[in-house]
Structure 1
Amino acid sequence: MKKKILIVGALVVAAGAVAFFLMNQGNGIQVNGAQVGRGSIEDFVEETGTVMARNNIQVYSPAAGKVTEVLVEVGDIVVEGDVIARLDSETLSYQLAQLDAQRSAAVAALNDARRAGDANAIRSLQLDINQLTGNIQEAEERLEDTKTLYEAGAISQDQLRSAERSLETQKTNLQKLRLQLDQLNSPASQNLIVQYEAQIRQIDLQKQELASSGEDYTIVAGTSGTVLHRMVEKGSFLQPGMGLVELGDTDDLYIQSDILVSEIAEVKEGQQVRITNTDLGIETTGRLTKIHPNAFSKISDLGVEQKRIKVDIEMDSVPMGLRPGYDLKIMIIIDSSEETLLIPENSVFTIDHKDHVFVVENRTATLREVETGIRSGREVEVLSGLSQGDVVIQSPDSELEEGKAVEVMIQ
């Protein structure tokens, strides 16, 4: 009797296990799925671009001097030949005075060479040396007083420099007088006379060239345009080559951007560009017209040094109110496809360096190899391996295996 009861109990347990298995087979693993559909997809490089003005140039100072007047403001429109700024002529006058002093000394040296050995000339020159030596001593004392006044704020730096230049000139003249005295005490040669004559001619040429450069002290625009930046103010002291203003043609705008070297290989001239700025309400298109030849280093916002290359973009239409310096979002379209099969990016995974997906067939997961194309955002183009209407499993976990029953929730 007990044996029969045990057999019946075993049969009940076995039947329950079968029923449990069948129930689980019916329910399956719950997964999220998506239907393979058709649509358009684009691959792009996204960056920030800055609006630039065409024919952008800087006006530089051709001479040294203090800015006495700046005649333009940012936003002013100038034409070629308009006066931008004026410098004082103090430096020019000082240089001319130096040349005059050098010429006088050379003429005196020439005369001394011609009358070498003249006792009267020697005595006269010695008196000049003694007098100049005394003047230098007095000038040195005055310079010390001048430095004290400058440090106390009683005089300007220009006054101090003037005193320093005066002393230096006198010391130079003393050296020349002593040289002349040595020459008078020795027989003069014809070669020495020729040298002094050549020196005088050279000084005359320098004076002519310097006098003709007086026009450099009125600085004019070399081209027409709008003043984009002004780098100097009245009272600034300039050296040759320092920038005064930046000019550009605000009627001819383009966009310049910096592309990472790692992305530049897929960027080509002629590619379409989408241009937007939500804050300004700007949405337009353009074309990439130039890839600059040289890479450069740039520090990112996170402090990382990056290698980048500049590119230029022409806008198909320039939005109203756009100005140089504005930042815009650019998307350079490097590849695109229309009416192609698309699946979610999170449904694709790699096995042995090949792309695969799980496809739902008869409520089971089926592994299938696929060939993919463009990847953009959260979508992937499928070139082969799937058909429109197929259902793929999104974000399959490690427990999902081929042949397992699944319950799909289409998203």
Structure 2
Amino acid sequence: MKKRTRWLLIAGVVLVGIILTALSMRDEGLIVEVAQVRQGPMEVSITEEGKTRVRERYAVFAPTTGRISRITFDAGDNVEAGAILGRLYPLPGSQRDIEMATARVSAAEALRREVDVRLDDARNQLAQLERDVARANVLASDSILSAQELEQSKLTLESARKQVVSIEAALEAADAEVAAARAGLLGTDPSQGSGTGIAIRAPSSGTILRVYDKSERVVQAGVPLIEIGDSRGLEVVVDVLSEDAVRIRPGDQVTFINWGGTVDLNGRVRIVEPDAFTEISALGVTEQRVNVIADIFDAPEMLGSGFRVEARIVVWSEDDVLTIPSSGIFQDEGMWNVFAVVDGRAQLQQVDIGQRSAELVQILGGIAEGDVIILFPSDQIEDGIRVRSEG
């Protein structure tokens, strides 16, 4: 019995202590964190990840199917417009193709020799006829040769001249046939030499961004060979939520952070693309996103194409507005409210707000500069309760 009485006495003392502590705290007020309503600058920004890319990028493709020579350039090399990047040659053929091409060359050369012989004969005959006509003119002037015989000699001479012209044209055609046959042999027979091939030239001055394959190989028409661009003209592609994209305008200021350097980079929004796309977030949420294209001012040399950056896009800013920390405002029944501290007590105060950022809220009415509000108001804060600030 004595033992039970002792435990009851201890419990009573503890209970009295708790009550006295609660009364003491009630009299002193609930400890809260506070902040002052201030007048000053404020900006609203949207921060998303982006990726750099070259503004003007040129892809060089194989113009036709063939054998591309080894590309001696490397990524990072600078080239001038028109520089030869490589050469594309006809495809090598099979043994049957080589034999057929060789036979066409032999036939064309034989025909050329035949025409050459015919031309020599025709020129010799023409020279002889010119001498005969000269003698006929002398004989006709002495009345030894009739006028009819003289005209016949001249007609024969004119016909011989036309024959020479015709054979000369045939010789030119035979030369062309030989050239065509030899050109057909260049691609099929490596022993006949590779020729000059088709020169693959740089479409613009810039830096080689990518070489798909340096090796000599057979490529199909349209296969990409090299990418060229001016790495000094970088832009950043930032994909943002569609509800954020409607707040962004061309010309908005952009600050690029966390790109790897020690100094933030400046830029400006150039384009907000009008077409959104669907993307699944890391949490599995389906989102509609929009690409925002921004230019970088004075991009450093170490920043290349495809590098990751964070872009902070300023969508609104003012130099002199009334603000409070965003942790001091809450919504109740569709209205925005704060707890102001008036004479040591919490006072529920309805406010009108404007712009909101992650840190600050613009106040349009309800409280004034210098007023003190409670931050992070808990469920223990009620209208009229006594409070005191930390420290």
State the TM bucket, normalised to the shorter chain.
0.5 to 0.7
Give 1:298 deviation, angstroms.
Answer: 4.3
CA contact (8 A) 2:38 2:324 kept: yes
Q: Which amino acid aligns with 1:377?
A: A
Q: Which amino acid aligns with 2:37?
A: V
Pairing 1:391-402 to 2, within 5 Å after superposition = 391-402=372-383
CA contact (8 A) 1:33 1:393 kept: yes
Aligned residues: 284
Give 1:269 deviation, angstroms.
Answer: 0.6
Change (3 A) 1:403 1:324: same
The reply on whether 1:64 has 2:65 as its aligned counterpart is yes
Instruction: Please name the residue that 1:259 is paired with.
Output: 240
Give 1:333 deviation, angstroms.
Answer: 0.2
Pairing 1:184-195 to 2, within 5 Å after superposition = none
Give the Cα–Cα distance (whole angstroms) in 1 for the partners of residues 387 and 282 of structure 2: 46
Change (3 A) 1:233 1:22: closer
Identical counterparts, % of pairs: 29
Change (3 A) 1:365 1:218: same
Q: Which amino acid aligns with 1:32?
A: E
Give 1:302 deviation, angstroms.
Answer: 5.2
The reply on whether 1:350 has 2:331 as its aligned counterpart is yes
Q: Which of 250, 264, 277 does residue 283 from structure 1 map onto?
A: 264
Instruction: Please name the residue that 1:368 is paired with.
Output: 349
CA contact (8 A) 1:84 1:221 kept: yes
The reply on whether 1:378 has 2:379 as its aligned counterpart is no
SS at match of 1:70: coil
Instruction: Please name the residue that 1:27 is paired with.
Output: 28
Instruction: Please name the residue that 2:219 is paired with.
Output: 238
Give the Cα–Cα distance (whole angstroms) in 2 for the partners of residues 304 and 65 of structure 1: 48
SS at match of 1:312: strand
Give the Cα–Cα distance (whole angstroms) in 2 for the partners of residues 276 and 368 of structure 1: 38
Give 1:270 deviation, angstroms.
Answer: 0.7
Change (3 A) 1:71 1:294: farther
In the alignment, structure 2 segments of 5+ residues that lack a partner are: 1-19, 105-176, 188-194
Deviations 1:342-378 (CA, angstroms, capped at 9, x unpaired): 2222221112211001111111211111111222223
CA contact (8 A) 1:355 1:370 kept: yes
SS at match of 2:55: strand
Instruction: Please name the residue that 1:36 is paired with.
Output: 37
Q: Which of 209, 230, 246 does residue 228 from structure 1 map onto?
A: 209
CA contact (8 A) 1:291 1:311 kept: yes
Give the Cα–Cα distance (whole angstroms) in 2 for the partners of residues 302 and 399 of structure 1: 34
Give 1:58 deviation, angstroms.
Answer: 0.3
Instruction: Please name the residue that 1:137 is paired with.
Output: none
Higher-Rg structure is 2
Alignment TM-score, normalising by the size of structure 2: 0.64
Alignment TM-score, normalising by the size of structure 1: 0.61
Change (3 A) 1:30 1:301: closer
CA contact (8 A) 2:28 2:388 kept: yes
Deviations 1:253-309 (CA, angstroms, capped at 9, x unpaired): 222222222321111111011122363213121110112233334454556554332
Q: Which amino acid aligns with 1:231?
A: Y
Change (3 A) 1:269 1:232: same
Instruction: Please name the residue that 2:230 is paired with.
Output: 249
CA contact (8 A) 1:63 1:217 kept: no
Instruction: Please name the residue that 1:190 is paired with.
Output: none
Give the Cα–Cα distance (whole angstroms) in 1 for the partners of residues 197 and 39 of structure 2: 69
SS at match of 2:238: strand
Give the Cα–Cα distance (whole angstroms) in 2 for the partners of residues 20 and 86 of structure 1: 91
Instruction: Please name the residue that 1:80 is paired with.
Output: 81
Give the Cα–Cα distance (whole angstroms) in 2 for the partners of residues 320 and 233 of structure 1: 25
Instruction: Please name the residue that 1:46 is paired with.
Output: 47
Change (3 A) 1:300 1:68: farther
Give the Cα–Cα distance (whole angstroms) in 1 for the partners of residues 73 and 380 of structure 2: 73
Give the Cα–Cα distance (whole angstroms) in 2 for the partners of residues 325 and 234 of structure 1: 25
Give the Cα–Cα distance (whole angstroms) in 2 for the partners of residues 366 and 311 of structure 1: 44
Give 1:383 deviation, angstroms.
Answer: 1.6
Deviations 1:132-190 (CA, angstroms, capped at 9, x unpaired): xxxxxxxxxxxxxxxxxxxxxxxxxxxxxxxxxxxxxxxxxxxxxxxxxxxxxxxxxxx
Structure 1 vs Structure 2 CA RMSD: 3.4
CA contact (8 A) 1:62 1:216 kept: no
